[in-house]
C-alpha cells in the first residue's frame, strides 16, 4: 500500500476533462467519473457522451483520467470521485471494503509480463529487477506467471512504480522485466521493438478477468441507478457498433484508431442482457470468487469475501430493461 500513498501525489496532476461546463456541481447532477486511458476504461464514457446518454438521465459527467484503478479507489475514499473504472488486478480493493462494484464491464486479456531482449522466460527473471504498478492487473499477471513457473516474488527484485515509470524504466534499461498491459506495451515497443512477452493472461483460458465500474462504499441508490442505466445503454451500443466504439474511444483518448483497435483486440465485450443473466446465474460471482482465491494466495486478501458484499448485482439487474 505504500506505493498507493506515494502515488496519491500523482492524483493532483491527473488531467481533468469536463465534458460539459453547463452543470452546477452543487445541484446533484454532476457525476465525477474516473477512467484509465485504454479501450476498456474509455469506450463507454465516450459513447455515453456522443449518444447523449448522460443527458437522458439528467446527469452531467466530469471525467478524470488516472493511471490505474487503485488511485481511483483512493479518490473515491477521499470524496474526490463518484465513480471509477478498475481492471481485474484491482478487484481486491472492493473485496476489502474500499469500494462497490456497480457494473461489470468486459473480460480483459491485455496484461503481460515482458522482458528485455535476452530474457527468454520467467525463470530468466530470477534475481533481476521487475517493475510493476502494485495492486493492479500488471501485478496480478506477474504473480500468476511466477506461480506457474514455480517461483515467488522473493525470487525477483520487485520494483513498485507507477505505469508511466514502468514504461520509461524499461525503455532506459533500468529494469529487466515488467508486469504491465496494452496499450502501454505498444509505447514500449516503439523504443524496444524486440522486447519479449514472457506471459499473458491469455495463458489461463479457464480463468476470467473482469473489468468493472466502481462507486463509493456509501451507495446512493438513485444516483447509482441512473449511472448504471447510462453504462448499460452505452454497453449495448458498443456491442452493436464495435468498430464505431473504437472510433469514439480513440477520439476521447486522442489516439490513432489503429492503436485503440489493437488494444480492443484484448477485450471480450458482452451485452447487458448477457451480463444480467451472468449476474443472476452466479457466473459473475464465480469470476469474482476466482479472483478472490488468487488474492488470498498473494496475501492481498486475508480471506475470500462474498461478492454479494461488494458487487451491487441487485441494482444492476433491476436497472436493466429490454
- Structural domain boundaries enclosing 81: 30-108+209-303+310-319
> Across residues 39-54, what is the average pLDDT?
98
What's the mean pLDDT when you consider all of the chain? 92
Residue 4 lies in a domain: no
CATH code of 71's domain: 3.40.190.10
Residue 70 lies in a domain: yes
Cell of 308: 454479494
pLDDT score at 6: 40
Buried (b) or exposed (e) across 167-192, using 16+ Cβ within 10 A? bebbbeeebbbbbbbbbbbebbeeeb
**Listed range (16-25, 142-151, 216-225, 249-258) with the worst mean pLDDT:** 16-25
Question: Is 104 found in the same domain as 115?
Answer: no
Residue 21 lies in a domain: no
Question: Is 133 found in the same domain as 62?
Answer: no
Alpha helices in 124-256 (DSSP H): 137-148, 163-172, 184-191, 221-240, 242-253
Question: Is 98 found in the same domain as 129?
Answer: no
pLDDT score at 281: 98
Domain boundary among the residues 203, 233, 264 is at 203
> Across residues 137-156, what is the average pLDDT?
97
Question: Is 196 found in the same domain as 77?
Answer: no
Question: Is 53 found in the same domain as 86?
Answer: yes
Taking the CB of residue 276, how many other CB atoms lie within 10 A of it? 21
Kindly write down the DSSP assignment for every residue of 298-312, as one continuous string: HTS-SSPPPGGGTB-
Q: Is the pTM of this model over 0.85?
A: yes
Q: How many domains does the chain have?
A: 2
Peptide bond into 183 cis (omega under 30): yes
Q: pLDDT tens digits for 81-95?
A: 999 999 999 999 999
Residue 18 lies in a domain: no
Residue 58 lies in a domain: yes
pLDDT score at 27: 53
**Listed range (28-32, 160-164, 171-175, 251-255) with the worst mean pLDDT:** 28-32
End-to-end CA distance of the chain: 42
CA proximity to 247, closest of 267, 271, 264? 264
pLDDT score at 8: 38
Residue 3 lies in a domain: no
Q: pLDDT tens digits for 197-247?
A: 999 999 998 899 999 999 999 989 999 999 999 999 999 999 999 999 999
Q: pLDDT tens digits for 1-28?
A: 444 434 433 443 343 333 333 333 345 6
Residue that the C-alpha cell 480471506 belongs to: 303
Question: Is 243 found in the same domain as 98?
Answer: yes
Query: Alpha-carbon distance 257 to 265, whole Å?
Result: 12
Q: pLDDT tens digits for 180-195?
A: 999 999 999 999 999 9
Question: Is 199 found in the same domain as 221?
Answer: no
List the Cα angle 51/278/102 in 5-degree steps. Answer: 55
Give yes or no for residue 118 having a pLDDT over 50: yes
Number of H helices, E strands in the chain: 14, 12
Question: Is 251 found in the same domain as 224?
Answer: yes
Residue 266 lies in a domain: yes
Question: Is 314 found in the same domain as 220?
Answer: yes
Domain boundary among the residues 160, 177, 203 is at 203
Domain boundary among the residues 155, 185, 203 is at 203
Amino acid at each position: 500500500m505504500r506505493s498507493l500513498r506515494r502515488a496519491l501525489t500523482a492524483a493532483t496532476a491527473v488531467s481533468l476533462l469536463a465534458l460539459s461546463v453547463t452543470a452546477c456541481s452543487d445541484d446533484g447532477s454532476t457525476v465525477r467519473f474516473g477512467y484509465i486511458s485504454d479501450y476498456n476504461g474509455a469506450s463507454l464514457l465516450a459513447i455515453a457522451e456522443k449518444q447523449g446518454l448522460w443527458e437522458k438521465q439528467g446527469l452531467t459527467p466530469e471525467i478524470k483520467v488516472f493511471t490505474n484503478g487503485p488511485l481511483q479507489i483512493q479518490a473515491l475514499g477521499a470524496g474526490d470521485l463518484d465513480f471509477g473504472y478498475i481492471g481485474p488486478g484491482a478487484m481486491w480493493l472492493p473485496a476489502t471494503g474500499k469500494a462497490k462494484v456497480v457494473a461489470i464491464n468486459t473480460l480483459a486479456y491485455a496484461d503481460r509480463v515482458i522482458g528485455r531482449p535476452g530474457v527468454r522466460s520467467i525463470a530468466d527473471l530470477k534475481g533481476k529487477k521487475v517493475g510493476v504498478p502494485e495492486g493492479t492487473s500488471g501485478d496480478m499477471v506477474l504473480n500468476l506467471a511466477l506461480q506457474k513457473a514455480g517461483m515467488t516474488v522473493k525470487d525477483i527484485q520487485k520494483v513498485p512504480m507507477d505505469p508511466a515509470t514502468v514504461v520509461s524504466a524499461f525503455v532506459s534499461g533500468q529494469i529487466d522485466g515488467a508486469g504491465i498491459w496494452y496499450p502501454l506495451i505498444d509505447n514500449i515497443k516503439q523504443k524496444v521493438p524486440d522486447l519479449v512477452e514472457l506471459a499473458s493472461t491469455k495463458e489461463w483460458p479457464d480463468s476470467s478477468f473482469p473489468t468493472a465500474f466502481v462507486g463509493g462504499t456509501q451507495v446512493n441508490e438513485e444516483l447509482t441507478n441512473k449511472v448504471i442505466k447510462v453504462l448499460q445503454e452505452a454497453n449495448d451500443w458498443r456491442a452493436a457498433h464495435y468498430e464505431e466504439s473504437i472510433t469514439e474511444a480513440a477520439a476521447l483518448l486522442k489516439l490513432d484508431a489503429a492503436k485503440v483497435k489493437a488494444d480492443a483486440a484484448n477485450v471480450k465485450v458482452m451485452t447487458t442482457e448477457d451480463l444480467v443473466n451472468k449476474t443472476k446465474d452466479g457466473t459473475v460471482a464465480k469470476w469474482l470468487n476466482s479472483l478472490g482465491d488468487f488474492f488470498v494466495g498473494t496475501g492481498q486478501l486475508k480471506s475470500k469475501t462474498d461478492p454479494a458484499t461488494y458487487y451491487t448485482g441487485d441494482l444492476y439487474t433491476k436497472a436493466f430493461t429490454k
